[in-house]
Structure formats: C-alpha cells, structure tokens
Amino acid sequence: MPVCLGIDYGTKRMGLAWADELGIALPLKTIPGVDSQGCWDELRQVVEERRVSRFVVGYPLHMDGSVGKRAKEVDQFVSRLEDEFDLPVSKVDERLTSLAAEEALGKKAKPKDGKIDATAASLILKDFLDGGNVIE
C-alpha cells in the first residue's frame, strides 16, 4: 500500500488527509489554496515529511456527472502536481464529500477552521482506498 496524500482542492485553502501503509485515511490539516502564496512550498513540506508516494485528489463533477469549470481547474492542478512531484495522481469523484464532512463533524464544523476541508480530504482518500469512484 503506498503512502497517500488526499487533497480536497481549493483556491483559498486545501484540505489534506494522509494514509500510511495500513491504509487508514486520517484528516491531516489545511494549507493555503492555489491562489495563495506558499501553497506549493507547504505541499512540498508535507510530501517530504510524510514520504508521500501517491496523490488522491477530489474531482468535483456536477451532480449529473458532467465536467464543469471547477473540475477543469482541478485538471490543471493535477497536471502541476505531476510536474512538481513526479508521483502518480488519482482523481476521485468528490460529489457531496464536503456535505458529508460537515455532517460528520456536526456542530463542531466551522468553515474557516479547515476541519471540514481536512475531513473532506479524508473521505476522498477513504473512497480511493476502498476502491470506489476513481476517475481515469
């Protein structure tokens, strides 16, 4: 089992989750989103610290399964991930993961503290580890 980093993509912040060789997805933290200074430096630091060997990125399809503007942004992000790190990247259908994360956290969920984003990333990663919803 590779060491995986799950990413809930965002322009303001990105949620991260991690799974080691045991294959248990755990929320990790949030980092600044792609529109922020330092995004790639923080991501590089996590990759090195955790010895990541695969990325799993949430892919935001529309409810009807079509690809929209946000999914195209993720495609560009995935392209840069591949260029920057030379590691495999899997995309996972992330429809409703943020809602599921909010429900899982209940009243503790505050959008700005990043817990929702990191929990969403762990749900995306868990989906991948369970063999579901991978988009090629």
pLDDT tens-digit readout, 78-94: 999 999 999 999 999 88
Q: How many residues does this entry show for the chain?
A: 136
CB 16 within 8 A of CB 31: yes
Confidence of residue 117 (pLDDT cuts 50, 70, 90): confident
Select from 3.40.50.720, 3.30.420.140, 3.40.50.12280, 3.30.70.640 the CATH code of 4-135.
3.30.420.140
Domain range annotation of the chain: 4-135
Task: Choose between 100 and 65: higher pLDDT.
Answer: 65
What's residue 108's pLDDT?
59
Q: Which residues of 75-100 are buried (b: 16+ CB within 10 A; e: fewer)?
A: eebbeebeeebeeebbbbbbeebbee
Give residue 132's pLDDT band: very low, low, confident or very high (50, 70, 90). Answer: confident
Out of 13-22, 84-93, 116-125, least confident range: 116-125
Least confident interval from 27-31, 57-61, 91-95 = 91-95
